[in-house]
Amino acid sequence: MLPAAAKWYDRREAVFVEFCVEDSKDVQVHFDKSKFDFSCVSGTTNKKHQNAVDLFGGINPKESKHRRTDRSVLCCLQKAEGGVSWPRLTKDKTKLNWLSVDFNNWKNWEDDSDEDMSSFDRFSEMMNSMGGDNLPDLDGADDEHDSADSDDKCKYYSKK
């Protein structure tokens, strides 16, 4: 099994990890207080992917969710202690070649006021009040995959 390529970024109440796998099936995401596991089969070649991550901080497994699209699987990891910045996703400082920072969505939220929340901060708050295993549909999220720069395998939903 190969690890799936992934990008991550930090927000006040949650950490987001997007696994860049096209046409995924048999998606399994297991959240634990200090780690999470991801696996799936992708593409027409049925490549098997598996990732295990020991997390920098604790999460609330019951409030953490995932959402599958045709191009990726987005995981929303609800922090056990909101308002605490994560300088990295992993517990250890080890560089993982399959993991990178999503600089398109990264921001220094510690300096922002609550009135200036991004759409993903509002999305994160909405996630706190929702149940279920999957993230809700985002209006137009799938439409963004058809944009001019659709050659990028991993698209993000905050370009609204």
Q: Which domains does the chain have, with CATH numbers?
A: 6-81 (2.60.40.790)
pLDDT digits (tens, 9 = 90+) for 18-47: 999 999 999 999 999 999 999 999 988 899
Task: Identify the pLDDT of residue 13.
Answer: 94
Task: Identify the pLDDT of residue 44.
Answer: 82
pTM over 0.75: no
Kindly calculate the radius of gyration of the chain based on its CA atoms and give it in whole angstroms.
15
pLDDT digits (tens, 9 = 90+) for 53-82: 999 999 999 999 999 999 999 999 999 999
